[in-house]
Amino acid sequence: MYILQNALKNLVRNKGRNLMIGAIIFVIILTTVVSLIINNTSSAVIEDYKERFASEVYITPDMQKVMEEAQKNSTDGRVMIKKPEIPSEQLLQFAHSEYLKQSIATGTISANNPDIQAIDQDDNDTSSSGAGITSIGGQGGMMKDPGMNGNYKLMGDSWEDFNEGLRSLESGRLPEADGESVISDELRDLNNISLGDVITFTANMSVDAPSDVNSDNVQEGDKVTVDGIEYTASISGLGTVRLQREVTYPLTVVGVYNDLTDEYANDNMPKSAGFNRRNEVLTTLNTLIAQRKADETGVNVNVTYYLKSPEMLAPFEAEVRAKGLSDLFNVNTDTASYEKIVRPVEGLKSISITFMVVVIILGSIILLLLASISIRERKYEIGVLRAMGMKKAKVALGLCFEILIITCFCLVIGLGVGTVAAQPVSDMLLQNQADAAQSSTSQGADGGNMMMGSRGMQLGGAQLGGTQTNAKPLSEMEIALDLVTILQIIAISILLASFAGLVSISNITKYEPIKILMERN
């Protein structure tokens, strides 16, 4: 107890010297607080965006390889570029991977029903069967069959709007088994549909015509048998033959949903039953694909893959290649958006750590010099205490108490001031990094657009052959002081106090009390 009391008295007696030591320790702690808060918050933001952008997998066509393949298959000098297709079965097979955290598979097919009326259905619409939009690729490439108009869209496992609160059940329940469905309250009211009613929809499945079936030997509406299944021939304006067959979907209504979204995606869309969201009938994906035979298209299947970790992209790509994914497709993540958003945060993190390390090193050197000078000035005091019989350990303990008290006082003030200062410092540095990243990205984008030239091409509504992103760099970040940061700051403060204490102890052991007193005389 005496040692602690003496240490407190010494702090007051030598306040000028202790204020200098305290100022150095305060600057080091303040810098550490600001830097660690920014660093740890930046790390959390980076991990969050890494999960958000770098874990979702995109399988997209490689435009250059698509064009090379089209040129290679050209026979009469005409290059026909066709969007490559991934069979739905393959997309679903890719979902069975140990590298995936989860996968979300959905499906849609356009359909009709002659027994009920769709919302915004044209009174002159005479189509009673078939689907107006038939998929020709698992990735969503579509074509419209002439003379047909699908008034309804059957959607399999499409529950995202429910999860986001845009749709909610008014009555009944969601489908729990295949063959069950949920309809909108507007469609129910228009046709007086009740829970438990069975509504039968008709749709078309398509298959590529065999090589011996072409527009020379087949006419529109002819029946063609492929693998024991009868199809109806449909000939496009280019002479391409497609074979279609009609399938039925008897769906039991088990629920009715309310929809908070607009009926149409935008104001430019034609007011047609096939585009009205109130005509969407929700069921299970298995219900849709159960009617499809091998090699048939018709159900537009879309699968979104999420990796367990962004580092698993390469092995996942190798796996899907082994499962049959064509070289015409690229497997990647949204690295462009990730880099554009996170690059300023990474720069901020690097600056904060570098600045903290520099300040700690320089501060420790200054603290070393001040501690050495302080001990030399107090040699006579130490000699008197030693001559009075106080052991070296107790003298050293008293000096350590002094440094520890100064450090604790600076720690409390530094935590408060640092927490307040971290936000404006972070905003200023992050804004500078965001401006630099935006400038760099703009220059890169201009160069990329110039490089594209004739290689860029619009296919199926998607830009192929280049990577574009509308993501904006992160220009602000909410700073927060968490428990981990506080513990890190305390640990650094203890190391500083220990460092200064060791310097004092090492100087004490150099001199004997009599020698110190003789030098004083």
pLDDT higher than threshold 60 for residue 420? yes
Give per-residue burial for 149-187: e unless 16+ CB within 10 Å, then b: bbbbbbbbbbeebeeeeebeeeebebbeeebbbbbbebb
Closest CA to 400 of 97, 69, 6, 26: 6
Higher pLDDT, 103 or 482: 103
pLDDT at res. 505:
67
pLDDT at res. 142:
35
> How many Å apart are CA 75 and CA 53, to the nearest integer?
42
pLDDT higher than threshold 70 for residue 139? no
pLDDT higher than threshold 50 for residue 211? yes
Percent of the chain with pLDDT over 90: 19
Closest CA to 150 of 247, 283, 248, 275: 275
Residue 112 pLDDT grade (very low, low, confident, very high; cuts 50, 70, 90): very high
Alpha helices in 73-217 (DSSP H): 88-94, 160-163, 185-191
> How many Å apart are CA 89 and CA 304, to the nearest integer?
14
> How many Å apart are CA 497 and CA 491, to the nearest integer?
10
Q: What is the pLDDT of residues 298-342, one digit of tens each?
A: 888 889 898 887 778 899 999 999 999 988 889 988 766 666 667
Q: Which range, 1-10, 70-79, 186-195, is most confident?
A: 186-195
Residue 132 pLDDT grade (very low, low, confident, very high; cuts 50, 70, 90): very low
pLDDT at res. 124:
58
Tally of CB atoms within 10 A around 320: 22
SS (H, E, C) 46-73: HHHHHHHHHCEEEEEECHHHHHHHHHHC
| Averaged pLDDT for residues 174-186 | 94
Higher pLDDT, 163 or 11: 163
Q: What is the pLDDT of residues 404-414, one digit of tens each?
A: 888 888 888 88
Q: What is the pLDDT of residues 463-483, one digit of tens each?
A: 333 344 455 555 566 766 778
Per the listing, tokens 């205490």 go with 385
Distant-in-sequence, close-in-space partners of 499: CB < 8 Å, separation ≥ 6: 364, 367, 368
Burial class, 121, CB count within 10 angstroms (exposed 0-12 / middle 13-18 / buried 19+): buried
pLDDT at res. 462:
33
* Cα separation values, 70 from 65, 209, 239, 441, Å: 9, 20, 18, 33
Q: Give pTM, 2 decimals.
A: 0.58
DSSP code for 250? E
Closest CA to 128 of 116, 117, 113, 146: 113
> How many Å apart are CA 29 and CA 24, to the nearest integer?
9
Closest CA to 320 of 138, 103, 107, 90: 90
| Averaged pLDDT for residues 514-521 | 58
pLDDT at res. 429:
65
pLDDT at res. 479:
67
pLDDT at res. 463:
34
Structure tokens at 31: 């810098």
pLDDT at res. 110:
92
Distant-in-sequence, close-in-space partners of 405: CB < 8 Å, separation ≥ 6: 7, 8, 11
- What is the identity of the amino acid at 419? T
pLDDT higher than threshold 60 for residue 446? no
Please tell me the total number of residues recorded for the chain in this structure.
521
User: What's the mean pLDDT when you consider all of the chain?
Assistant: 76
Residue 136 pLDDT grade (very low, low, confident, very high; cuts 50, 70, 90): very low
Q: What is the pLDDT of residues 187-205, one digit of tens each?
A: 999 999 999 999 999 999 8
pLDDT higher than threshold 90 for residue 388? no
Q: Kindly report which listed range (99-103, 180-184, 509-513) carries the lowest average pLDDT score.
A: 509-513
pLDDT at res. 457:
34
pLDDT at res. 37:
81
> How many Å apart are CA 35 and CA 30, to the nearest integer?
8
Residue 372 pLDDT grade (very low, low, confident, very high; cuts 50, 70, 90): confident
